[in-house]
Amino acid sequence: MSNYFKISKFFLFIPLLGVAIVSTSTLFPFIVGKYVIFRSSVALALLFFCLGVLFSKNDKAVFDRIKSVLKSPLVISVMAFVASFVLAGFFGVAPSFSFWSNFERGLGSLELLHFLVFFFLMVFHFREGKDWSKFFGWAIFGGVLMALYGILAASGFNGFLGGKWSDAGFRFSGSIGNPAYVAVFSLFLIFYVLYLLSVKYRGKMKESGAVFLMVLGVFFLVIFAFAATRGAFLGLIAAILAFLFYAGIASKRWRIKFIGAAMVVAAIVVILVAFKNVPFIKSLPFSRIFDISLSTKTFEDRAIMWKMAIDGFKERPVLGWGAENFTFVFDQNFNTAYFKPAEGFGAWFDRAHNVFFDYLAETGAVGLAAYCAMFVVFFLFLFRNSGITFRKKTGEDKNAAIQKERHLGVVEGGLLFAVIVSYLVQGIALFDVGITYINLFIVLAFAAHRFKSVGGSAVGVRGALGGKDNN
């Protein structure tokens, strides 16, 4: 690998630590510094990548690698999503705003193009299991820094922004500034920890590295609980059930046990939600997550927003109103039921607080279809590379399965399945921001590395973390 590519690769690690940046001198301290670090790092990574291509001593090998990446169906689906996002902004009601966004969000087409470059470079550079092992390790370290910032802020240290442990209704916000996104980030962090444990330390759980990872996993779970976010809680439960479902259909030997475990988990959740008003449960610091009901004020407000999004979609059904333009939808389709001054409401919203309705209103049917297509491709190739099929196998299928290397183990495939399911479920009550995008694209890039692509070619399907591929 050329030195230019090594430098490009290095800059991909920087955004993983950027989550701990809080730029107190800016109007939006929890947001601005993070996207400045992200864009700068990706731009530098792209610059050195281009220099590496330009001065490569083996042009054919480099271009073959680029072509192998671009042929991946998952890469194609991600490119299609970003293209639809940019196109919707170009034909939207405020093209300039859709591209640049604003100081507060910074999530216009320009940012999505940076995420696409970030995604492409990850798939191009990280071709060995040890690359992903290190990358997940850096992501975990970034998560620790995020949590430490929040702990210092909650403990009242000067210069650290955020609520205090003693505040009524305290929810942990870390260096992200929003408890809901701390919870979502924690879900991804738990995935990284479990993945490293299951692959790197399989059969070696007593080693110091494995014990340290287990401690971090519990730590992130505690942070998740103190973030007290109901949507993310549902995402966690969905992830557990998804893992057990996947493992149950992938492993005949353990099928009954996995099904039984899923039933136990479901029963525990039902009991906690049903008895949420019991004093003991209400006394828990994270009891808020058990208050799940269609009659809650939060859900009622969300439902009003979703109705506005649907009305906006009906007016511009193909490409929507353009990225970052939900405020136009909100203003034009305002529902007076949303205006409740006595309850402190009435503020205008710039999101539908649901990823699906957000993309439906802002990018139309084309954008939502492209967004959903990413996950259709993901699930299709996940099951394909796990040897799981929902049709009856023929003798030819069985012989081929014996001869074919199993690319994904039960735990590996189950964790990949679970983390994407958790992201989609929590997205029912939330919208995408920088911290969710970066982790989503990390998981999708890793999946592209692991999945076999159409026609027998592959983007890194040999080995898991710690293994090599020879593409």
For the whole model, what pTM was predicted?
0.90
Per-residue model confidence as pLDDT tens digits over 102-119: 988 899 999 999 999 999
Mean pLDDT computed over every residue of the chain: 87
Q: What is the pLDDT averaged over residues 453-466?
A: 41
Per-residue model confidence as pLDDT tens digits over 11-41: 999 999 999 999 999 999 999 999 999 999 9
Q: What is the pLDDT of residue 296?
A: 65
Q: In angstroms, rounded to a whole number, what is the distance separating the alpha carbons of residues 239 and 259?
A: 14
Check if the beta carbon of residue 448 is closer than 8 Å to that of residue 407. Answer: no
Looking up tokens 């040999």 gives: 462
Looking up tokens 């008895």 gives: 275
Q: What is the pLDDT of residue 285?
A: 64
Q: In angstroms, rounded to a whole number, what is the distance separating the alpha carbons of residues 220 and 182?
A: 10
Q: In angstroms, rounded to a whole number, what is the distance separating the alpha carbons of residues 364 and 314?
A: 9
**Identity of the amino acid at 86:** V
Q: What is the pLDDT of residue 392?
A: 57
161 burial via Cβ count (<10 Å: 0-12, 13-18, 19+): middle
Ranges 99-103, 184-188, 360-364, 423-427: which has the least confidence: 99-103
Looking up tokens 């790197």 gives: 200
Domain boundaries, the chain: 3-456
Cα angle value 317/319/320 (rounded, 5°): 65
Most confident of 27-31, 238-242, 280-284, 371-375: 371-375
